Structure 1
Amino acid sequence: MSLKIRLARGGSKKRPYYHVVVADARSPRDGRFIEKLGSWNPMLGKDDANRIVLDTDRVKHWLDNGAQPTDRVLRFIADAGLGKRDARNNPEKAQPGKKAVERAKERAAKAEAAVAE
């Protein structure tokens, strides 16, 4: 059985609240889980102590037993000092797509043709 440490969404519409849970990877996001390990309230300020609450002993136990955290949960675990998250870098992220580059070339060609006339 593949286990994941992931977020399960709670809260009402436009007021998210997440539980950090250990669940079978095949179960749905808000479905059955094995154990609740903590919570995340993104509505609180980033400096608030209650924004992220984790039971560090149980997180460590599940990591030792092979549970794989999701990217977001791995950030929380790394901030708590229980794991290591490699920094990511995507230099291509800010560059426009192929279609946008083609449209820009067409506009430039039309502008040059208008100036040449």
Structure 2
Amino acid sequence: MAVKIRCRRVGANNDLCFRIVAADIRSARDGSSLEILGWYDPKREGKNYSLKLEAIEAWVRKGAQVTETVRSLVNRARRDAASALAASAAAASEQPPAEAPAAETAEKPAQA
């Protein structure tokens, strides 16, 4: 069975949203699917998608083909994950290590 990872259209007219699914290539666009792998909302501002990258990679290893739209979403998700990882690593390295409390240095009286 040939599998393709593609968008399934959901939502109302003029308010489209898509599910990212693994489906048999012979099934209809909005037909049955083997697994739901995420969603994509083109009208939403900011992060407008959510993907299960591990599941998508597992399907690709099994021989599934990926459509251009889904491929671009996967690339964007990988870029976002890499930049978030780099940002968290940079934030962790910028924090100075916790300093030990400074020992109180009381002046000793000079002995004559």
TM over 0.5: yes
Query: What's the counterpart of residue 100 of structure 1?
Result: none
Any residues of structure 2 matched to 1:1-117 within 5 Å, and which? 1-45=1-45, 48-49=46-47, 51-81=48-78
Structure (1 or 2) with the larger CA radius of gyration: 2
Query: What's the counterpart of residue 98 of structure 1?
Result: none
Give ranges in structure 2 of 5+ residues lacking alignment.
80-112
RMSD: 1.3
Q: CA deviation at 1:79?
A: 1.6
Q: Scaled by the length of structure 1, what TM-score is found?
A: 0.65
Distance 1:10 1:80 in 2: 21
Alignment length (residue pairs): 79
Q: Deviations over 1:54-100 (max 9, x none)?
A: 01110111111111011111111122239xxxxxxxxxxxxxxxxxx
Taking only the aligned residue pairs, the percentage that are identical comes to: 33
SS in 1 for 2:78: coil
Runs of 4+ in 1 over 6 A off after TM superposition: none
Query: What's the counterpart of residue 99 of structure 1?
Result: none
